[in-house]
Amino acid sequence: MPIPGHIDPVPVPRNLAPRPDGRVDLIGLSKDQLRETLATAGMDARQAKLRAKQIWHWLYNRGATEFAQMTDIAKAQHPWLTERFVVGRPEVVEAQVSTDGTRKWLLRSPDAQDYEMVFIPDADRGTLCVSSQVGCTLNCTFCHTGTMRLVRNLTAGEIVGQVMLARDSLGEWPSQPEGRMLTNIVMMGMGEPLYNFDNVRDALKLVMDGDGLALSKRRITLSTSGVVPMMARAGEEIGVNLAVSLHAVTKDVRDEIVPLNRKYGIEQLLQACSDYPGANNARRITFEYVMLKGKNDSDADARELVRLLRHYDLPAKVNLIPFNPWPGAEYECSTPERIRAFSDIVFGGGISAPVRTPRGRDIDAACGQLKTAAEKKSRAQLDREAAEAAADETIEAAALA
């Protein structure tokens, strides 16, 4: 399915290179897949069913990362499991903490692909912003992630692994519904979730499973830039809250800043929102709207936004997002006065339009700022290696002289 952007989405699932140690990572497997994996490795079918139930509990309820921690599995079986399987977590390349308490992690997969996740603490909730792809293919012009090429989809294990790593960092094992810091998940990190539908669905089912991570679907929001054909399926098969990256109300402007609009226009998108299963006044659809000075922030834009949402009779909330700058960005943020005037018009039309407070700007963790530092780091590393090599050559030449 060709779309605007650097390259098309990966049309065929790309086989990942096996782990160097040959072991199979159990994170990301469903209960049935876990049982089948144990049986395929040579475990008796009846025992595999029991062990799968036990291992599942230890993985997703207790947060175990080693088989030796699984005390209700015979110690004699631990070496057999350890030889064949691993309980993975993403490698943390770098962890940063903003002055406002926001945390950002640069993560690395076993095949050396980098991606990011962000945790945003508030007084009444803690929200984890999860990535679904390495890079992105949509090329939204206001978004730093959009300047990256799509490398590959993240697996279900890599997606749910972000949640588990956050739980590790926050000390929130075993799983329990009360007293959590991590209360909400938003699929708003790197990538377009609906272009990695199967893995996102499978990961979120693990997150929502009552025997494991046990996070309610009402606490999870999936964001899309408008992949219209997949939206109904997302509502039916995942059933979480929907957020739509709208950002403009006219074809010309949205074609520029969200190029996917050239394939699925505003009218198609809003009709798909109207048809989204489960949307009602108690579960409103969130429309994300980044405020760009002189581009999409006029009074006329605000009135047209109200008209469109009322025309499609949408149970809607609009999040107004001050543009978060990044090096090379061609846009400026609307002034606070302009954002306030825009918000007042939308509120006046009977639609909630709060202004989101930017979080994590000082560590490039705010909305639209996520971009893996891998390229920058690799160049820096190359510079260091070149300098070290030059120094070694100088020393060697001096020794030979």
Residues labelled catalytic: 116, 367
Distance CA 234, CA 237 (A): 5
Element containing residue 25 per DSSP (H, E): strand 24-25
The SS3 of residue 396 is helix
Find the helix or strand (DSSP H, E) in which 210 lies: none
Q: What are phi and psi of 249, to 5 degrees?
A: -120, 0
Q: Does residue 258 contact residue 226 with C-beta atoms inside 8 Å?
A: yes
Token couple for 294 = 């002189």
CA distance 108 to 116: 9
Pairing relation of β-strands 133-134 and 126-129? unpaired
Chain centre to alpha carbon of residue 203: 11
| CA gap 293, 339 in Å, rounded | 9
Q: Which residues contact 313 (CB under 8 A, 6 or more apart)?
A: 274
Enter the tokens of residue 101. Answer: 């308490």
Give the separation between CA 322 and CA 332, rounded to whole angstroms.
9
Task: Say whether 146 sits in a helix, a strand or coil.
Answer: helix
Token pair 């709208």 is found at 246
**Closest Cα partner for 246 from 214, 218, 219, 272?**
272
CA dihedral (128, 162, 173, 94) positive or negative: negative
Q: Report yes or no: 249 and 299 within 8 Å, Cβ to Cβ.
A: no
Whole-angstrom distance, CA of residue 53 vs CA of residue 343: 50
Pair 148, 326: CB distance under 8 Å: no
Question: Which secondary structure element, helix H or strand E, spans residue 121, and what is its range?
Answer: strand 114-121
CB atoms within 10 A of CB 386: 10
Cα–Cα distance between 63 and 89 in angstroms, integer? 11
